[in-house]
Amino acid sequence: MSSLLLILLSAVLVSLVAICGIAGWRPFLDTDDPYENAVGLAQASLVAVPLAATVSWLLATFVLVPLDIAYLRTPVFVAVAATVAQLTEIAFRRWSARLPARPAFALLLTANGAALGVAFMSLTFAQRLLGVVLISAAAAFAFAFLLLATATLYERLRYADVPAPFRQAPITLIAIGLIALGCMGFSGLIPE
Amino acid sequence: MQTAVRARGGLRLEAHKERSTRDPIATAAPPAHAVLTLDQHAGERAVPIVAVGERVALGQPIARPSTLVSAWLHAPIAGEVVAIEPRPAANHGGAPALSIVIANDGSDARHRERAIEDFTALAPAELRQWIGRAGIVGLGGAGFPTVAKLASAAEREHLALLINGAECEPYISCDEMLMRERADEVVLGARILMHALEARECVIALEDNAPQAQQAMQAALTRAGDERLRLTQVAAIYPAGGERQLIAAVFGKEVPHDGLPRDIGVLCHNVATAAAVARWVARGEPLVSRIVTITGAGVAHARNLDVRIGTPIAQLIEECGGYTPRITRLLMGGTMMGAALATDEAAVIKTTNCIVAASARDLEPRQPEMPCIRCGNCAEVCPAFLLPQQLHLNAQALDLAGLERYGLMDCIECGCCDYVCPSQIPLVERFRQAKPHLAAHLRARAAAQAARQRYESRIARLQRLEAEQRQRLEEKRRLARRKDS
Amino acid sequence: MQFPTSPPPHVVAPNTVGRVMRIVIYALLPTIVAHVLFFGPGLLVQSALAVATALAAEALALRLRGKPLAFYLGDGTAIVTALLLALCLPPLAPWWLVVSGTAFAILLAKHAFGGVGMNLFNPAMVGYAVLLVSFPAQLLSWLPPHALDIQTAELSFAQTAATIFTGRLPEALAWDAITSPTPLDALKTNLALGMTMQEALANPLFGGLGGRGWEWVNLATLIGGIALLMLRIIRWHIPVAMLGSLALCATIMYAVDPGTYPGPLFHLTSGASLLGAFFIATDPVSAATSDRGRLIYASGIGVLTYIIRTWGGYPDGVAFAVLLMNFAVPLIDRYTIPRIYGHAERP
Amino acid sequence: MTELAAFVLLLTFAGAALFANRVAAKQAELVERARLIERIDRILPQTQCRRCTFAGCRPYATAIADGAADINQCPPGGDATAAALAALLGRAPKPVDPRFGTMPSIPMVAWIDEPACIGCTKCIQACPVDAIVGAPRHMHTVIAAECTGCELCIPPCPVDCIVMRPAHELVTETTHPSALLDAVAS
């Protein structure tokens, strides 16, 4: 549980640094507002993460294990996550109000999907399909919430009179650290 | 009469009206020199129609409106025009502005205007035009030319007229005294305005802390016997008398942020404006005087005076027994929204409702400013339902997108947020500083959008013309070919 | 005659941050008195230590950041943080715990974020949570309240201070003999051991409402909280929403299985429920800003507190719940901007 | 056998990912350029003055999107526009190149000295935003509130009767078309 939380927080941190920290690197073309970008990425993750996890589980269970090549799980998962990310991009470009930008959108989504998806595979209650769907959907929701909350937090920090040495990355890391501290309250909630 | 209605937000403030309402309204002596600033109303400056050296009679027009949103000026005294030059102006905080100066000859010789016996005999449009000649502007403080306001709502059906007697600002009591002593004038003015607007009903709103005014008005209404008029009490919660707040309290409807009260079928006029209309129509007296409250611990004898427009403020203070040693600041208007005057040489203008000769006791000194602690007191009292703390954050960073989102342009600068702020942040001042930036930004964006549209439609038009021309050429060639063959 | 000018409004209410914080400190007095009555003079030593540390840390931070010392030290925010943290610590906790927790709260949770008004997280709760996850053993060993019939050692003020500073009890006393878990902790442990609710509540620690002694401390807090409400220092939204959602969760679960889950009154009068509802969650800096936002924020704290208390690893969840909801505040704020006058929709 | 299966599988997935990538890229190319031009055009001040050497703001936006023009060619937009473009495109900001012209310190609009106007309509044809009204052999006039100050009408005038004057002298709240319309409507 705590390792999953750690991976979630890292994914949020990486996404946020990509959106806010790197000039010209935004997942969406339509806006340079970090929050709007975070919203788009969160929406995309809600689709892509459960989809990637489900497809990989199906592949692992019905192809890799019968063929006795379960050790290929991770590379296959990355490939699946990449494919799903591209498909999501195509779908977003067609049906969503937001326009994904290349290559930021697909890369971020792949990275997040793969990181979270690989993590589920080692969980015990991800042995059944229902378990995978539920945990990946829950993780996607958690990711979406954490990303949006962190993006708004980042916006509020912009107005704060943060001492010079703490500006930007350090204070964001401290904030994430304090969030993790809050999340420690959940320890013991779900057995490992 | 039902219980007092109220709008959301606002503050209960100490009214400070008892000192100035003890004595009845007294008439101030006409000034030796009257100074009439040409831009003492909202909109465009008036244009002088008299020359230096010309003799004028009391009530004679001396400046005409320059545009549709402007107002006539009339001589408040009889005498000679001695100068048209910049003089300290109350509406500029005491800084000089172009003014007409008249020297009093002491005769008070009147310029006769016709008095209308029966205003209902006039057609509404005719009546509106006639009212326009009186130079009346919104006397509650905004100074918007009354004729322009009437024009904005003309021809609207089912209009409700709201007569604003809710004098919510602390210290000001001129409207209360007017209603106490000249209630019949107010009621007559309201009826004239109703006729001019073809309004279906009229609500006269006043605060629930002015029982004598309420009784006087009720009596006047009974005397008038006009069923379409009624009286409503609003809770004495600042800024109950703000136009938009009063409309929300009385009618339960909000004025659209990008619209005017007429858009929801309401037109609002101040009680003093209504009284001025009545004096003009019934007696032919243009707007040459008004009631001004002189109060504060910095003046010896606080009271309400009926004052000629153009009287220097220093003279009014003299009539009230002069300054006390405690005087520290001179305010025009109330303590919440009034402007501090740099000099008492400035003259009374049409919108001067109150002069507060403030002592240190009247003004609570501001403590040093702290960072905002997000307590939310400001949002609780904001009558426009804004989040002043967020506006403050965005104003500090001059984040125009944020200021737009949090509705800076909807701020009415009433000062409630400023009043309650425990961090003592001068919020209103910050907002006033940020507003021009945001306004310029919004204007530039709108202009760019319009320019782009016109550019694109021009390109499209040129392309269409070219295509048509080409088509015509083809046609001609074809015809020529046919002729050849 | 010439006059100075100034921008309007020309009057402001004689209210300052310092005054607000002073009133909060006075409102904490009933809690402090009850605490001292039931748990001995430890709190006084802890409070003094915490306040001294907080002021020193604040002064250090202000000096480093080049801000006016006297002006900001006088605002009282650091003292409130220190008192809230001290109230959460066991009365005999060693001095270094108090000092490090307070210093962490002031330096990292407050000044790293920009000082007063800027901290995203409640400093007192950051300090407490850091101590709790780092030194759970010290943080969870409380004293039994004096109201208990069981034989407890009455430590004098000098003995208490000596214990806090040296970490050693007076002769003839052993840690095991005088410490006792908090009621929430005891209930959780005993239920985990397989006891029924009746068996668990038969422990002399429990009184009519919650824990003995504890219920009185909580009632004292309620008095202080109501005073804050009446003086309009805080508004009803946060306490009502937090206590309401906590009570609702407790009622539902109690109705489901009264043998496993204690009732709403127990939850309301145990642990830091009331202190949290009236003094901690209401910290305006780290709370949501609009009324609707505050209702959401505080309901979240109530629910999370219940979840952590009931199913989590720690006996009380108020601190974690507050930190988690602090984190959600900017997001809540973004979606609860009130509708502006004359606008049909919210921005 | 299993090694072979593994190899085939990996290749298949890598292929699928690459294929999806190609499809997405191709689809993106078309939409992204149009959307980018639109966004750049939004930032430009819409003066349509051609100081950037292109035929208007939109052509300049297209040139920027295609890499044919730099971001520092818009004097009316000034350094603020250049900075906004830099932020949009993720490039380093740079000040406006003075070779593309300079702007007066306050906004100016064109003004026709009406008695001198001979009604040749050349300025009407030159105005990119249709802000000049008039008919052949009749006096022309500039709608001050709609003039962007591009100065394109000045060179074609055969009698040099057009001058630039400060906008605030000519554009006021009450001469603004919307205010006039309001007034007329009432």
pLDDT in tens, B53-88: 999 999 999 999 988 889 999 999 999 999 999 999
pLDDT band at A53 (very low <50, low <70, confident <90, very high): confident
Number of structural domains in chain D: 2
- The lowest-confidence range among A175-179, B315-319, C279-283 is A175-179
Q: How far apart are CA C98 and CA C128, in angstroms?
A: 9
φ/ψ bin of C114: left (φ > 0), alpha (ψ from -120 to 50), beta (otherwise): left
Instruction: Locate B35 and state its tokens.
Output: 């100074």
Query: Where do runs of H (alpha helix) occur along A17-33?
Result: none
- DSSP bridge pairs for D108: D166
Q: What is the pLDDT of residue B356?
A: 94
At position B436, the amino acid (one-letter code) is: P
Return the SS3 of B292: strand
The predicted structure's pLDDT at residue A23: 67
A185 against C171, higher pLDDT: A185
The domain in which residue D88 lies consists of 2-100
Please tell me whether residues D126 and D180 are part of one structural domain: yes
Do residues D82 and D24 both lie within one domain? yes
Over its C-alpha atoms, chain C yields an Rg (Å, rounded) of 21
Q: Which of D100, D122, D151 is the last residue of a domain?
A: D100
Measured in whole angstroms, the distance separating CA C8 from the mean position of its chain's CA atoms is 39
Residues 6+ apart with CB under 8 A from B263: B255, B256
CATH of the domain at D8: 1.10.15.40
Which residues of B are less than 8 Å from D57 in CB distance?
A: 452, 455
Q: For residues D120 and D147, state if they share a domain.
A: yes
Give the whole-number percent of chain A exceeding pLDDT 70.
Answer: 93
pLDDT tens digit string along A54-83? 888 888 888 888 888 778 778 888 888 888
Q: Which of residues 16-55 of A touch D (CB under 8 A)?
A: 23-25, 29-30, 32
Q: What angle do CA B204, B207, B210 make, to 5 degrees?
A: 105
Domain end position, chosen among C136, C152, C180: C180
Calpha distance D186→B150 (Å, rounded) = 9
pLDDT of residue D106: 85
Cα–Cα separations (whole angstroms), residue B338 to B99, B231, B436: 22, 28, 20
Domain range for C44:
15-180
Structural domain total, chain A: 1
At C225 the pLDDT is 95
Residue in chain A lying closest to D89 (CA): A24
A15 domain-assigned: yes
Q: What is the predicted pLDDT for the residue at B468?
A: 94
Instruction: Check residue B162 and give its pLDDT.
Output: 95
Strand positions, DSSP E, chain D: 108-112, 132-133, 141-142, 162-166
Report which DSSP code applies to C206.
Answer: B
Q: How many domains does chain C have?
A: 2
Last residue of a domain, one of C145, C180, C215: C180
- Tell me the Ramachandran region of residue C192: left when phi exceeds 0, alpha when psi lies from -120 to 50, beta otherwise: alpha
Statement to judge: residues D69 and D131 lie in one domain: no
Contact indicator for B16, B176 with CB cutoff of 8 Å: no
Residue D87 corresponds to which amino acid? A
The predicted structure's pLDDT at residue C244: 96
Q: Note whether C131 and C218 are same-domain residues.
A: no
Predicted pLDDT at C23: 95
Confidence of residue B166 (pLDDT cuts 50, 70, 90): very high
Residues of chain D positioned with their CB less than 8 A from the CB of B153: 186
> Does position D175 have pLDDT exceeding 60, yes or no?
no
Please tell me the predicted confidence (pLDDT) of residue B177. Answer: 95
Instruction: Spell out which residues of chain C touch residue B371, defining contact as CB-CB under 8 Å.
Output: 114-118
Q: With beta carbons under 8 A apart, name residues in chain B contacting C15.
A: 420-422
Q: In angstroms, rounded to a whole number, what is the distance separating the alpha carbons of residues D23 and A90?
A: 8
C-beta separation of B161 from B149 below 8 A: no
Structure confidence at residue B385 (pLDDT) = 94
Higher pLDDT, C162 or B185: B185
D-interface mutation test, from B128, B197, B452, B466, most D Cβ less than 10 A away: B452
Residue B377: CA atoms inside 13 Å, Cβ hemisphere, count?
A: 26
Contacts of A101 in chain D (CB under 8 A): 32
Question: Do residues C201 and C94 share a domain?
Answer: no
Token code pair at residue B315? 């003279």
Indicate if C172 and C204 belong to the same structural domain: no
Which residue has better confidence, B447 or C169?
B447
Q: Are residues C115 and C205 in the same domain?
A: no
Between strands B289-295 and B266-270, the pairing is unpaired
Kindly give, in sequence order, each residue whose CB lies less than 8 Å from that of residue C189, ignoring residues fewer than 6 positions away. Answer: C181
Nearest-10 Cα torsion for D109, D110, D113, D119: -150
Asked, for residue A190, whether it belongs to a domain, the answer is no
Chain mean pLDDT for chain D: 83
Mean pLDDT, chain B, rounded, equals 91
Which strands, in side-by-side order, build the sheet including B266-270? B229-234, B201-207, B160-165, B266-270
Domain span at residue A157 reads 2-184
Contacts of A162 in chain B (CB under 8 A): none
Q: Domains in chain B and their CATH numbers? A: 26-289 (3.40.50.11540), 369-485 (1.10.1060)
Specify if A13 maps to a domain.
yes
Write out pLDDT tens, residues A103-126.
778 888 888 887 777 777 666 666
Does residue A172 sit within a domain? yes
Q: How far is CA D57 from its chain centroid? A: 2
In this predicted structure, what is the pLDDT of residue B30? 94
- Of residues D169 and D109, more confidence is placed in D109
Supply D37's token pair.
Answer: 């031009």
Nearest to B342 among C5, C333, C341 (CB): C5
Q: Are residues C320 and C210 in the same domain?
A: yes
| The pLDDT value given to residue B193 | 95
Q: Give residue-wise pLDDT tens across range D154-168.
A: 999 999 999 999 888
Contact C337 B406 (CB under 8 A): yes
Read off the pLDDT band of D185 (50, 70, 90). Answer: very low
D56 plus D88 within the same structural domain:
yes
Q: Which residue has the higher pLDDT, A51 or C207?
A: A51
Q: Is D8 exposed, middle or buried (0-12, 13-18, 19+ CB in 10 A)?
A: exposed
Low-confidence ranges of chain C (pLDDT < 70): 146-154, 177, 207-210
* Residue D178 banded pLDDT, cuts 50, 70, 90: very low
Q: Cβ–Cβ of B379/C290 closer than 8 Å?
A: yes
Neighbours, chain A (3 or more CB pairs < 8 A): B, C, D
Is residue C262 located within the same domain as residue C193?
yes
Q: Which two tokens stand for residue A181?
A: 């501290």
Whole-number pLDDT of residue A2: 64
Interior angle at CA A186, CA A185 and CA A188, nearest 5: 110
- Are C280 and C124 within 8 A, CB to CB? yes
Strand partners, B268: B162
- Residues 85-144 on B with a CB inside 8 Å of C are 93-94
Give how far C236 is from chain B: nearest CA, Å: 13
What DSSP character marks residue B302? Answer: -
The rounded distance, in Å, linking the Cα atoms of C177 and C185 is 17
**Quick check: A185 and C323 CB within 8 A?**
yes
Residues C97, C234 within the same domain: no
CB B306 within 8 A of CB B28: yes
- Which of C157, C180, C203 terminates a domain? The answer is C180
| Cβ–Cβ below 8 Å for B393 and A159 | yes
| pLDDT 10s digits, B221-268 | 999 998 999 999 999 998 999 999 999 999 999 999 888 898 999 999
Assess if residue A159 is contained within a domain: yes
Residue of C nearest to A156 (CA): C330
pLDDT of residue D177: 45
Tokens of B388: 């002043």
Q: Which of residues 303-342 of C touch A (CB under 8 A)?
A: 304, 307-308, 311-314, 317, 319-321, 323-324, 326-328, 330-331, 333-334
Phi then psi for residue A98, to 5 deg, are: -95, 145
Helix (H) or strand (E) holding D163: strand D162-166
Q: Is position A192 within any domain? A: no
Task: Please give the Cα distance from B162 to B151 (Å, whole number).
Answer: 16
What is the C-alpha to C-alpha distance for residues A31 and A33, in angstroms, rounded to an integer?
5
Q: Could you tell me if A181 lies within 8 Å of chain C, comparing CB atoms? A: yes
**Do C and D share at least 3 CB pairs under 8 Å?**
no
Cα torsion through C304, C309, C310, C312, rounded to 10: 80
pLDDT digits (tens, 9 = 90+) for B144-160: 999 999 988 887 888 99
- What was the pLDDT predicted at B245? 94
Say if residue C249 is in the same domain as residue C100.
no
* Whether residue D182 has pLDDT greater than 50: no
> Residue B100 pairs with which residues in a beta bridge?
B36, B84
